[in-house]
Amino acid sequence: MERTIKSALISVFYKDGLEPIVRKLHELGVLLYSTGGTQTFIEQLGIPCTSVESVTSYPSILGGRVKTLHPKVFGGILARRDLEEDQKHVAEYGIPLLDLVIVDLYPFEETLKQTNEEKTIIEKIDIGGVSLIRAAGKNYKDVCIVASRNQYPQLLSLLESGNGNTTLEERRAFAGAAFTECAHYDVAIADYFNRDSAAENFQLSFGHKQSLRYGENPHQSAAFYGDLDSLFEKLNGKELSYNNLVDVDAACQIISEFSNPAFAIIKHTNVCGIAEREDVATAWRDALAGDPESAFGGVLVTNQHINAAVAAKISELFFEILIAPAYDEDALTILKSKKNRIILVQKTAFYPTREYKRVLNGVLVQDADTRNYAEWIEAGAQNTTEPEKEDLLFANIVCKHLKSNAIALVKDKQLVGKGCGQTSRVDALRQALEKAKQSGFSLQGAVMASDAFFPFNDCVQMAHEAGINAVIQPGGSVRDSDSIQYCKDNGMAMVMTQTRHFKH
């Protein structure tokens, strides 16, 4: 069912991209209605425009809060062209029919980024715009609604190819996009008002859809929703894949834990190598040494500037992605020698405040794990030395970022062995010990972190026999005393934190 656009209401906040549409509508003989700044914009193009005020006989009032909220405006949008009763009302009350509505919304989310002043934020909650969009969307059988400047090219193409005519399918598609725009807008407002309390309903909305090549596997379709450009600048390489994005998220989270020079290597969201050093070159060398086998094809991340010397060393390894806050030009020349390498500049540190997971027919929501430890309870044979304490703090952070069950072995702020994703804690420790052995590390003087309590004393016994002299764990087992007693009997330090770090 085609409809010819004979009249249009245009009232937008953003004017960029609007001029060619206005000119095309004028060329097609479409009668234009508008308000305020948009009316001025149209008239400055030398194109006639009828003010909404002259239709409603009401001026813009309440400081611009009320401009289009009037029966003569909404009647012209909602009137059903094929319903006789509606057309009688249109004639009786002198309501001009509106075939096209171009309306966008006040920049609420942008305002949130710019200020904390509630008065300013509240004034960017759009009332009339949302109402006009919903009205036009509801009556898509007769009216075409364009609710975002992102759709201007599509509208212009439609006007040119259809000569001012629109099909039912085209109008329905525009309506769907318009309701999506409103839903996203309303979720942002609801989040603002509920930011200090838990809302009854779970609501999330992300724009900036980016289609991905595929999901975790080639037979799965996928997309990313979110503004990656606010976090990164991509300097080289192919488009980020689903698995790339998952690993980049893990990389950004762990590197945000460190303020001194650090380098980490991520594989399937687990950190397989990490070191904290006085300079980035040494941090890279020691992160790689932690597990050079697993590092192949990994995601690399640092909190330091990359120079040419470090870039040359990194380039000796095949990797998918490198993330850093800055790069020297000669470093980029080296790194860009492989066209598919993804090189990212991280613009700002990232760590989530909330986490979400689909489970069954619903969603689990939790606060992010932002804590290292709640208490520092020295429970072993003696108190930890300062070097041991530094290593234990480091190990506990690393362990937090490994899939459970997890064990991290650390020596001099370098990950020397790790076990993760195991169904028993003993197996996680066996894996960590084997990794350390494969990489040629001595565990004399090393420390061990566990993401959860030791149900028996077998883990501390195995650690002690390997040369480990200090352990950190949350505690909480009914048999904590077994592990504590073993440490006391064998001269080991043990710290209990009262903070578990499960990660599934």
Long-range contacts of 415-418 (CB under 8 A, 24+ apart): 415/271, 415/272, 415/273, 415/274, 415/275, 415/287, 415/290, 415/291, 416/290, 416/441, 416/443, 416/446, 417/441, 417/443, 418/270, 418/271, 418/272, 418/291
**Upper half-sphere CA count for residue 406 (Cβ side, 13 Å):** 24
- Main-chain phi, psi angles of 102, to 5 degrees: -115, 105
- Dist. CA 495–CA 377, nearest whole Å: 5
Q: Are 450 and 431 in contact (CB under 8 A)?
A: no
Among 15, 24, 138, 234, the active-site one is 138
In the sheet that holds 262-267, the strands lie side by side as 232-236, 342-346, 319-324, 298-302, 262-267, 270-276
Q: Tell me whether residue 496 is exposed, middle or buried, using C-beta atoms within 10 angstroms of its C-beta: 0 to 12, 13 to 18, 19 or more.
A: buried
- Dist. CA 11–CA 32, nearest whole Å: 10
Q: Is the peptide bond before 405 cis (omega within 30 degrees of 0)?
A: yes
The residue with tokens 């009032």 is: 61
Q: Tell me whether residue 355 is exposed, middle or buried, using C-beta atoms within 10 angstroms of its C-beta: 0 to 12, 13 to 18, 19 or more.
A: exposed
Among 24, 72, 184, 268, the active-site one is 268
138 is catalytic: yes
268 is catalytic: yes
Any residues with CB less than 8 A from the CB of 302 and at least 6 apart, and which? Answer: 255, 261, 262, 263, 264, 280, 283, 284, 323, 324
Instruction: List, by residue number, the catalytic residues.
Output: 138, 268
